[in-house]
Structure 1
Amino acid sequence: MRRAPRLLLLLLGLLALTRGARGQADGPPGGPGAEEEGAPSLRIAPSNAAFAFNFYHLVAALNPGSNVFFSPLSISAAYAMLALGAGADTRAQILEGLAFNLSDTSAPDIHRGFQHLLLTLNRPRGSLETRVGSALFLSQALTPRPGFLNRTAAFYGAQPFPADFLDPEAAARLINSRVREETHGKIDSVVGSLGADTAMVLVNYIYFKGRWKSPFGRSRTTPQDFHVDQHTVVKVPMMFQEQDSHWYLHDRHVPCSVLRLDYQGGARALLVLPDTGKMAQVEAVLMPGMLHRWSRLLQKRYRHRHRAYFRKLWLYLPKFSASGSYNLDELLPQLGIQDLFTRRANLSGIAAQDNLLVSKSVHKAVLDVDEAGTEAAAATSLSVTFFSAVHNPRILKFDRPFLLAILSADTQSILFLGKIVNPTQP
């Protein structure tokens, strides 16, 4: 039996809080470049958020007690782009697995939404740098359809590169060099060995580099305890702020505190700190509607009603690095994308060759959080009451496992999503 040509997907997410250049102008949230109601990117935002939490719950269930960190946007964009070359049944599986309802949103609207989303995210924004892109490394034996190359370039900005997979080491060097360049060296090597039957390697990356609007003072960072669980305590460099006001809430009905930290340029982080021992209860209600509710409440237009809770806060947050690596060909079939990784795959829109299938799909994400910022090469009707911690009304200390989401305010997109169980784990 003739061996099927292989298609390899490499999806990379880099998020970094870092020492960005100083003195650059930053557009305010909602300023130039902010999305208008009805923009194509906003139409796909609910589905992208739904996929983010579907994937989170899957990975968290399979990796209890471990850090989780990934870029849902990188995964969604790469697979939506791949759907451009898929036949009807395979295409429907891909898009529905990404949480799109094809009765409500047509495939052309999905691609137009990603086109607008990527163009918006890639706009220059002063000291906030967000870049999302794709590259196609094509075997000389593959005859790609011009329509596929044109559409992937037009909607997703994908760049094609010839690669000689008959020389696997040279092909790996080419791909790794490109990845290293696009991720500013944050991810040095993603390809170890490639088979001579590889037909195409698709690489998608997202790189985020932002500075906190209110940086932490480096001289205030000290080693402190972080309680991984009731039996495990590790030492972490704990950052500290006491002079800046922050938006935060404690949800009476969901046992957690939620903090919003803004980046210069319009992006923001939401950090969710479950009450001691309550991570499972918080994860149980973690869904797009809950994230939207927290985000909506933690906005300036609510300040006049909850003035006392935009206040100076003794804030403790670990300085740490985290990463995630996931074999999507093993995970996505559990979300309904099944045929793509088997001989039932119909990828006839990519090339004239038959038997093309995805043999391997890898997603990697890296996160660095420090005093200056971040660098990375990731509904219920419950009522909310804002109130202070009982024992000390001005202390919020992330000294136990917490959840983290990095959001693009303009596009209402989740760039990265994760759970930090142990900040000392790389």
Structure 2
Amino acid sequence: MPSQNLSMHCIHHLPLLLAGLLALSHGQLPSGDNKGYGNSSHQHGQESGEDPSSPQVAPSNTNFAFRFYHLLTSENPRKNIFFSPLSISTAYAMLSLGAGGHSQTQILNGLGFNLTELSILDIHRGFQHLLRVLSLQDHGLEVHLGNTLLLSDDLELLPGFLNSTMTFYDPKLFRPDFSDTVGTTKLINDHVKKETRGKITDLVSELTPDVKMIVVNYIYFKGLWKKPFHLSRTTAGDFYVDESTTVKVPMMVQSFQHQWYLQDRHVPCSVLRLDYQGDAVAFFILPDRGKMAQVEEVLTPQMLARWNHLLQNKYFYRSVEIHFPRFSISGSYALDQILPKLGFQDLFSQQANFSGITTQRKLQVSKSFHKATLDVNEVGTEATAVTSSFLTFLSAPRSHLVVRFNRPFLLTIFSPSTQSVLFWGKVVDPTAP
């Protein structure tokens, strides 16, 4: 296709907010409280320098991503799913700095960390390193992962918690008057709208005066395909939601382009890798007809790693005609209802211990939710870079293939430099909001 047929707009817009709206409310302070990790973490961080070993937190984060996904899909097998496991993990790891005793252990174990293999200090150093790498600007790619703390102006924090939080997670800090619920609500919504480039608005509808602390984590991703789809070729097409439901979608087409693609001989699916400009790739996993459940049964971090390695093999860089829906989906999840099923039993109860944050009041998490949105469309800037290496396990015919994403599929947005899953999702019905 001639280059003038290509628009130069971005193809992917992924703003996300974990509101943990981790809104913490207060009660009576129990006796014998644990001061938590706050003071010691900052002290040790200063003594041992800045991230000398770059501890690897990505494997645990990926493990958490799959556990979270399997729980969601088991409860809602016929619904779209979309979330950022990294955003959830980062927010709760930051919150764990203020947790003490069993509450801290529950948070970190719930996130997938084995505390006999990785120290608490190394976990926070690992997140510090990961956030630093993701914040580096890359041509054609914008990844903005940030944290925000909103603390009541009458809440006296322990210095160790604030110092450690600033050291490892570098959040923006606000000190609003929480008794002014209207003003605080506007402050949060305006801040979130700005940080997500206007994609998430009116996040908070009402606050109660007993809320004393809010933890917010957001991620904004904007990328350009290395090889865009052509606007002129997008036409209405059928998407088969299930055996009895068919919907019409704008179906994008990309012809006669080499892409990373394999047909798995051991799992009933095909896997397509599409590269962004910069340090990010997308994997689209298309189960064979009627085989979504079988694919989900073997969906593990090891399987994703296997596909990732295979799709660096030049054998799988081949001519593929792709038919792919243009769509927007979103996911909203009440984490205070979901996370207890993943090991966070005490966090949302009066048993929670956040004595590392303040000795002034007993805090507990009253609400926590996560919201993510995904927009996929055709275009980006042309590029000719090719990635290849030399792994080979599967075989596939080398003839020109036509791949139609016209039935439910899985997707992940992946950062190769950090080996991190930024987003994970399942598209069951691309016309559903």
| TM > 0.5 | yes
- Residue equivalent to 1:386: 395
1:334-362 CA-partner distances (Å, limit 9, x unpaired): 00011110111000111122320000001
Shift of 1:10: 2.7
Give the CA RMSD over aligned residues: 1.7
1:14-53 equivalent positions in 2, closer than 5 A: 40=54, 43-53=56-66
Point out where structure 1 has 5 or more consecutive residues left out of the alignment. 1-7, 12-37, 375-382
Return the TM-score normalized by structure 2: 0.84
1:217-270 CA-partner distances (Å, limit 9, x unpaired): 111111100000010000000110113101111111110000000000020000
SS class of match (2:341): helix
Return the TM-score normalized by structure 1: 0.86
Counterpart among 226, 229, 233 of residue 220 in structure 1: 233
1:22-421 equivalent positions in 2, closer than 5 A: 40=54, 43-299=56-312, 302-303=313-314, 306=315, 309-372=316-379, 385-388=394-397, 393-421=400-428
User: Are the counterparts in 2 of residues 253 and 384 from structure 1 also a CA contact under 8 Å?
Assistant: no
Cα distance in 1 for residues equivalent to 2:285 and 2:380: 18
Shift of 1:191: 0.5
Cα distance in 1 for residues equivalent to 2:118 and 2:336: 25
User: Are the counterparts in 2 of residues 251 and 384 from structure 1 also a CA contact under 8 Å?
Assistant: no
Point out where structure 2 has 5 or more consecutive residues left out of the alignment. 1-18, 23-51, 382-391
Cα distance in 1 for residues equivalent to 2:397 and 2:299: 22
Cα distance in 2 for residues equivalent to 1:39 and 1:258: 34
SS class of match (1:186): coil
AA partner of residue 320 (structure 2): L
Q: 1:58 to 1:387 in 2, by over 3 A?
A: same
Cα distance in 1 for residues equivalent to 2:428 and 2:270: 16
Shift of 1:393: 4.9
Cα distance in 2 for residues equivalent to 1:158 and 1:416: 21
Cα distance in 2 for residues equivalent to 1:373 and 1:241: 12
Identity of aligned residues (%): 56
Cα distance in 2 for residues equivalent to 1:9 and 1:273: 32
Once the two structures are overlaid, the 10-residue window that deviates more, 243-252 or 261-270, is: 243-252
User: Are the counterparts in 1 of residues 227 and 380 from structure 2 also a CA contact under 8 Å?
Assistant: no
User: Are the counterparts in 1 of residues 196 and 218 from structure 2 also a CA contact under 8 Å?
Assistant: yes
Shift of 1:9: 2.2
Cα distance in 2 for residues equivalent to 1:52 and 1:286: 11
SS class of match (1:192): coil
